[in-house]
């Protein structure tokens, strides 16, 4: 992973434009929080907290829409852990997750740590795009 922190004035607008996203002030700010060279799993609430810590004024709707737009453009992976509860993952490599229910957080599992067998026969004309495994953990 590239550990160079992107420049919010030059690198971030270029990254957004490359993915067909208009680099508005709030999108640039959120991208700057997320794409700092460190893999992270964030919820909408996490991004709002990060924004507040940096004195970035935004709304829940703006953060929600921006994260979903980034995911649709391929900048983030959306990881659904339950109905109405999603995380956004900056690690775009093939991998799986542990979901620690009591801590409400995700941890990466390298793709080669899980062997998936016995997949069903695919409908005619279809191919597998991806297989994502989330293993839910709880305290004893």
18 and 67 within one domain: yes
What are residue 86's DSSP bridge partners?
A: 80
- Tell me the whole-structure pTM to 2 decimals: 0.85
Number of folded domains that form the chain: 2
Residue 6 lies in a domain: no
Residue 5 lies in a domain: no
Residue 20 lies in a domain: yes
82 and 21 within one domain: yes
So what's the pLDDT on residue 1? 46
111 and 83 within one domain: no
Domain that holds residue 105: 94-137
Residue where one domain finishes, among candidates 48, 64, 88: 88
What does the pLDDT look like over 88-134, one tens digit per residue?
999 999 999 999 999 999 999 999 999 999 999 999 999 998 889 99
What does the pLDDT look like over 105-115, one tens digit per residue?
999 999 999 99
Residue 134 makes CB contacts below 8 A (sequence gap 6+) with 79, 81, 96, 97, 98, 99, 106
What does the pLDDT look like over 6-47, one tens digit per residue?
555 568 999 999 999 999 999 999 999 999 889 999 999 999
CATH of the domain at 18: 1.10.10.10
What are residue 105's DSSP bridge partners?
A: 100
What does the pLDDT look like over 53-85, one tens digit per residue?
999 999 999 999 999 999 999 999 999 998 889
């Amino acid at each position: 992973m590239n550990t160079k922190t992107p420049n919010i004035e030059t690198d971030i607008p270029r990254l957004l434009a490359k993915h067909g996203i208009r680099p508005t002030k709030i999108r640039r700010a959120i991208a700057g929080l997320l794409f700092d060279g460190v893999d992270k799993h964030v919820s909408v609430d996490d991004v709002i907290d990060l924004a507040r810590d940096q004195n970035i004024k935004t709304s829940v709707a703006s953060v929600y829409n921006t994260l979903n737009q980034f995911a649709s453009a391929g900048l983030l992976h959306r990881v659904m852990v339950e109905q109405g509860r999603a995380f956004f993952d900056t690690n775009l490599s093939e991998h799986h997750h542990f979901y620690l229910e009591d801590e409400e957080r995700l941890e990466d599992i390298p793709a080669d740590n899980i062997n998936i067998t016995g997949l069903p026969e695919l409908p005619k004309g279809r191919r597998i795009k991806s297989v994502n495994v989330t293993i839910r953990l709880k305290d004893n």
